[in-house]
Chains A and B, each alone.
Chain A
């Protein structure tokens, strides 16, 4: 309901069935093995003897004991067993055996106060539920337990209780111990520090370790752990320095020097730039602000005086630093989303007090607080009617006001509501932001759906002219694709959609002179170039299916290609159509033997597809374009009015080999943008003829080199408008036709729209055509 999405719910618990807390009361050497000892362990209700191999076992320890019958997380079952003659009634466990860590050297030693006989589960509070919550980048306040608690209390109308922030100060004045200076408040609006002296560094208690572990943080020591604990609790990243390693006992917040390097806590030496904000002491850098501390001032086992930092760093500055170093941390994630500038005092106090309590030590008196001049806390005006109009609701002024109070905002009631935005909700700056808070607390489920209606159309519409024009353009693109799609589906082709990426060398194989658009950060080299032709991906589809024994492949794709533009920054994205076919012309049928697809199949399908566009003058001529896809002898360019709009033919053997395709492929490629431009306006129907047609056949013998196209053009020219149709029905070579010549037989249909044609008229037309063919090509009537 709040917008905090619970992504996972994990229950951590009862994985330690049969594991109890025992007190080691006596340890004696195993009579038969030097390395083993026999321990007497008090389990509360009983006392048992256990053989143990760990060197660190000692009387007086509290230890986890797996009793006979226990099943450990690793799957190990515990049985009563005899070890070198001594019966062992269970096992004292190491952390590794309990699946808690990789620590396998020696047994796990618990707090001396651990309750003997109690289940190991209860002591560690392992039966807890861990919620993984997805927090939007706009809500840094919810990267903390208290922030989530605040959301829940707002929803449930309960009061929010914050963790205590009281401190007991007993040490010297802090100003005598350390000082802080900020070079630029724009980079760091606030820096708070406290000092704890007389600290004894040690590992944290079990509860602390477990709690940090449950949120995925590795425990380090009793000081560092507190800083992380408070970060999870309140959302404020903190850093602890060993005060005695700070040169001059001073802290400076400033940019890094260009070219310097710095070794972060993780031991990595990192190059810096002036983009990176640093923490420095008098002499050197000691931490990357808001990202990670430095090795040179870290808390070690020798540390006794701790300087605790709680700062508000600028979000952009931390993000740049983090990106520059390629280092993302729990701290940087919080800072780059925007930090509450009022949180530092509370967080540092809470952490300092906890350190004093858990690690011993005394708080120095006072706190260092260097900050930018105060800015007035922002307030946002909310118009109740306006918000209701935006949401489509009727929430009352009083209810809105109540919601804001529940969220911890204060509200001044005027005609409108004036809402003071607390420091922890800096995401709210405008009325629309408040509207969202109203919607959340009112409940999105209570918004009643209504439907909008489009603006009524008006005859005198002038505003929408640009839109109409765009729609027309868009429509013609959609229509062109739709027509092509329908035609090809009717021809038996299956539509495919392929990736826009290709291997540059595959593209180069087809278009050697084209430079494709290249990705800066591709997933792999195979996917590193934007396709410049659909031929490459469509051949990929053929290969994929051919390898899977799919026969008679017929596929097409209509999609964008990406062509770098020498003037514009963005490439052009024209549309292409590519279809490919393999195998036989027709599906297997018992009545006739299968025939392989050939040149005229591809040509016919290309022409049928284009036929939808009622284009005149579609021609096929030998292809000599830039595509290296085709076999020169078995390919053609498609032209419309002399302009090339595509090509088709047999894919060359070299290309088939390159793409590892083991069967012949016939392919056609068309540029849709050309087609959209050319799309004929001829979408009118003809009146049916009133007068009868005269049909004649005509067979001529011509030299081999004379093309069908040339013959047809001569006949058309001679017969002009009276020739209605001409179809080639036979091509013959052989007996009765001299070598080097061929016989071409045509069926012609003549018709006039004004009168009935006479036989004589038609004969003379045909004779004229034959005569002309004879003059031009030496054609003879057969």
Chain B
């Protein structure tokens, strides 16, 4: 039976190789692989062979079937290509001429998103220098020269009284010095800390400060406004949590967290199973700060908050290391 199968295979392959049009090829397909093909008849009679031989015979017949099918396919492709084109014009699958297209940096993307949300809420954008006077970075924020809180912000110094700003908070003072209340501003920008970098720390990073001063500003509004922001950026179910914290320029001070944007608070790897993602610090403007800018703390209250733009971008775009932002590997940036 094996000899028979081999003979059929040989014959079929020869015929296929000589077929000159698709029609003839189709006839060959029916003759050699169809229901009534010799190979099929042979296959049905395998049962008559001694049982120990059957697997071997069956295998051989199948391989004959496969090789005939392959030969049909190859010949079909060949005959089609040789046939005159059915349609006019170029090969549509050739690559087109694609102009190059650039990408915004992820920190630009997040900055634009944050600014858009706060502008919608009636905030305007303020700005300040990155090389800053000690007075604005510390002193007027109620962090005098000998305050231990200075140790918590490792600082680059340019001179005795000139620093690289360690936060965007000095913009608060610069704005309040220039203008009377009401104040409703955000100040996105670059800040510096004298730290050795790792996956979540960098010596250069980006913050966005927020400041709202008017008559009757409350902590409940701070919570509400941050909640609104969080929901605009991350989705409608985000909650904001306050925990007590300490900053010399706000009183009361809180550290605020968003309910986990990935798991909704159930606990996952991103929130380290806590259900919350710590964002940054906030609080009610300390009366001492109003003293520095000549606002009447009896008449006005205000809230202030910070947020890390790098961190928000990491959360929003699923970026794993803060070092990627300033490394500028185009293979990373091209994904933007």
With an 8 A cutoff between CB atoms, is A413 at the interface?
no
A432-B252, A521-B157 as given contacts; A587 in contact with B98, CB under 8 Å = yes
**B124 is an interface residue with CB less than 8 A from chain A:** yes
Let me know if B132 is at the binding interface, CB within 8 A: yes
Is B8 in contact with chain A by the CB < 8 A criterion? no
Given contacts A453-B122, A521-B156, contact A494 B102 (CB under 8 A): yes
Partner of A523, one of B194, B228, B246: B194
Taking CB atoms, residues of chain A closer than 8 Å to B180 are 463
Give residues of chain B (184-213) contacting chain A, Cβ–Cβ below 8 Å.
184, 190, 192, 194, 196, 203-204, 212
Contact bitstring A329-348, B, C-beta under 8 A = 1, else 0: 00001001100000000000
Kindly list chain B residues whose C-beta atoms are within 8 Å of the C-beta of A448.
220, 223
A499 to B192, CA, bound (A): 10
Contact indicator B246/A449 (Cβ below 8 Å):
no
Q: Which of B100, B224, B286 contacts A452 (CB 8 A)?
A: B224
B219 touches A439 (CB 8 A): yes
Which residue of A is nearest B214, CB measured?
A455
**Binary interface profile of A, 572-614, with partner B (CB < 8 Å = 1, else 0)?**
0100000000000011011100000000000000000000000
> Which B residues are CB-close (under 8 A) to A665?
none
Task: Find out whether the CB atom of B157 lies under 8 angstroms from the CB atom of A391.
Answer: no
Chain B, Cβ-Cβ closest to A337: B148
Chain B contacts to A: CB under 8 angstroms: 94-95, 97-105, 107-108, 121-127, 129-133, 146-149, 151-152, 156-159, 161-162, 164, 178-180, 182, 184, 190, 192, 194, 196, 203-204, 212, 214, 216-221, 223-228, 240-246, 248, 251-255, 284, 286-287, 301, 325-331, 333-334, 336
Q: Are A569 and B241 in contact (CB under 8 A)?
A: no
Task: Enumerate chain A residues within 8 angstroms of B220, measured Cβ to Cβ.
Answer: 391-393, 447-450
Residues in B with CB closer than 8 Å to A21 are: none
Partner of A545 from the list B204, B227, B328 (CB cut-off 8 Å) is B328
Residues of B within 8 A of A710 (CB): none
Contacting residues, chain A, for B227 (C-beta < 8 A): 449
Chain A residues whose C-beta falls within 8 Å of the C-beta of B225 in the assembled complex: 451-452
Give the 10 A-B CB pairs with smallest separation, nearest first. Answer: A392-B220, A492-B100, A454-B122, A3-B244, A136-B246, A392-B218, A436-B252, A489-B102, A444-B242, A449-B224
Tell yes or no: A498 within 8 A of B by CB: yes
- The answer for the CA separation of A471 and B178 in the assembled complex, in Å, is 13
State A493–B184 Cα separation when bound (angstroms).
35
Q: How far in angstroms is the closest Cβ of chain B from A46?
A: 45
A489 to B336 alpha-carbon distance, docked (Å): 12
Using CB atoms, name the residue of chain B closest to A388.
B218
In the complex formed, the residue of A with least CB distance to B102 is: A489
Q: Which of B164, B218, B253 has the most CB of A within 10 A?
A: B218
Is A517 part of the contact surface with B, judged by Cβ < 8 Å?
A: yes
The answer to whether B133 touches A569 (Cβ under 8 A) is yes
- A319-B146, A439-B219 provided; 12 other pairs, C-beta below 8 A? A136-B246, A315-B146, A444-B241, A464-B179, A466-B179, A489-B101, A494-B333, A556-B102, A586-B97, A587-B100, A589-B95, A591-B97
Residues of B near A498 (CB, < 8 A) are: 326, 328
Which residues of chain B are within 8 angstroms of A541 by Cβ–Cβ distance? 328
When distances are taken between beta carbons in the complex, the residues of chain A under 8 Å from B146 are 315-316, 319-320, 336
CB <8 Å contact, A452 and B217: yes
- With both beta carbons as reference points, the residue of chain B lying nearest to A433 in the complex is identified as B251
The chain B residue with its CB closest to the CB of A477 is B127
Q: Which of A92-100, A294-302, A365-373, A547-555 contacts B (4 or more CB under 8 A)?
A: A547-555
Given the contacts A444-B254, A530-B131, A495 and B158 also touching, CB distance less than 8 Å: no
Whole-angstrom CA separation of A500 from B193 in the bound complex = 12
Q: Is the CB of B130 within 8 A of A500?
A: yes
Q: Closest CB-CB distance, A142 to chain B, in whole Å?
A: 11
Instruction: Decide if A470 is an interface residue (CB 8 Å cutoff).
Output: yes
- Nearest CB in chain A to that of B98: its residue: A587
Is there an interface contact between A474 and B126, defined as CB atoms closer than 8 Å?
Answer: yes
With A523-B194, A573-B129: A447-B242 Cβ-Cβ less than 8 Å: yes
| A562 beta carbon closer than 8 Å to chain B | yes
* Among candidates A333, A447, A450, A490, residue contacting B101 with C-beta atoms closer than 8 Å: A490
- Interfacial chain A residues near B330, Cβ < 8 Å: 494, 545, 550, 553, 555
Would A390 and B218 count as touching, CB distance under 8 A? yes
Q: Assess whether A590 is in contact with B328, with CB atoms less than 8 Å apart.
A: no
Q: How far is the CA of A747 from the CA of B169 in the complex (A)?
A: 58
B297's nearest neighbour on chain A, judged by CB, is A432
For A126, what are the chain B residues with a Cβ–Cβ distance below 8 Å?
Answer: none
- Please measure, in the bound complex, the distance between the C-alpha atom of A449 and the C-alpha atom of B254, giving whole angstroms: 14
**Residues in B whose Cβ lies below 8 Å from that of A389:** 216, 218, 301
Size band of the interface chain A makes with B: 35 or more
Decide: A390 near B219, CB < 8 A? Known: A478-B125, A496-B333, A569-B133. yes
Residues on the A chain within 8 Å of B228, using CB: 451
Taking CB atoms and an 8 Å cut-off, the chain A residues in 126-185 that contact chain B are 136-139
For A84, the chain B residues whose CB sits under 8 A away are: none
Residues of chain A at the chain B interface (Cβ within 8 Å)? 1-3, 5, 136-139, 315-316, 319-320, 333, 336-337, 389-393, 430, 432-433, 435-436, 439-440, 444-445, 447-455, 463-464, 466-467, 470-471, 474, 477-478, 485, 488-501, 517-523, 527, 530, 541, 544-545, 548, 550, 552-556, 560, 562, 569-571, 573, 586-587, 589-591
CB–CB A2/B194 < 8 A: no
CB neighbours (8 Å) of B333 from chain A are 494-496
Q: State whether A474 touches B102 (Cβ < 8 A).
A: no
Q: Is the CB of B253 within 8 A of A571?
A: no
- Complex contact B326–A390 (CB within 8 A): no
A-chain residues with CB within 8 Å of residue B127 when the two chains form the complex: 474, 477
Closest to A454 in B: B122
B218 partner residues in chain A, CB cutoff 8 A? 389-392, 450
Q: Which of B99, B121, B217 contacts A492 (CB 8 A)?
A: B99
Query: What are 29 residue pairs bridging A and B, where the CB atoms are less than 8 Å apart in the complex?
Result: A3-B246, A136-B246, A139-B246, A389-B216, A432-B252, A432-B284, A435-B284, A436-B244, A436-B252, A436-B253, A450-B223, A451-B221, A453-B122, A455-B184, A467-B124, A470-B126, A494-B330, A496-B328, A521-B156, A523-B194, A530-B131, A541-B328, A548-B329, A570-B133, A573-B129, A573-B130, A586-B100, A587-B97, A589-B95
Using Cβ atoms and an 8 Å threshold, which residues of chain A touch B216? 389
Select B102's contact among A435, A488, A499, beta carbons within 8 Å. A488
A544, B244: Cβ atoms under 8 Å? no
Distance in angstroms between the alpha carbons of A498 and B324 in the assembled complex:
11
CB pair A569 B327 closer than 8 Å:
no
Decide if A392 touches B221 in the complex (CB within 8 Å). yes
Determine the chain B residues whose CB is within 8 A of the CB of A336 once the complex forms.
146, 148
For A541, the closest partner residue in chain B by CB is B328
- Name B243's contact: one of A5, A315, A495, A530 (CB within 8 Å): A5
If A471-B124, A489-B102, A553-B330 touch, does A523 touch B148 (CB 8 Å cutoff)?
A: no
A518 to B131, CA, bound (A): 11
Query: Could you tell me if B126 and A519 are in contact, using CB atoms closer than 8 angstroms?
Result: no
Which residue in chain B gives the minimum CB-CB distance to A451? B224
Partner of B287, one of A432, A492, A560: A432
Cβ-closest chain A residue relative to B204: A499
Smallest CB–CB gap between B131 and chain A, Å?
Answer: 5
Would A474 and B125 count as touching, CB distance under 8 A? Answer: yes
Residue of B nearest to A528 (CB): B156
User: Are B148's CB and A137's CB within 8 A?
Assistant: yes
What's the nearest-Cβ distance from chain A to residue B122, in Å?
3
Q: Are B103 and A489 in contact (CB under 8 A)?
A: yes
Q: Are A496 and B105 in contact (CB under 8 A)?
A: yes
User: A527's closest neighbor in chain B, by CB?
Assistant: B203
Q: Given the complex of chains A and B, what is the CA–CA distance between A337 and B161 in angstroms?
A: 23
How far is it, in angstroms, between the C-alpha of A497 and the C-alpha of B108 when the chains are bound? Answer: 9
* Chain A nearest Cβ from B89, distance in angstroms: 15
Measured between beta carbons, the chain A residues less than 8 angstroms from B221 are: 392, 449-452
A471-B242 Cα distance, complex, nearest whole Å: 32
Docked CA distance A333–B148 (Å): 9
- Which of A491, A520, A573 has most chain B Cβ within 10 Å? A520
Q: A495-B105, A519-B158, A550-B331 are in contact. Are A449 and B190 (CB under 8 A)?
A: no
CB distance from A117 to the nearest CB of B (A): 41
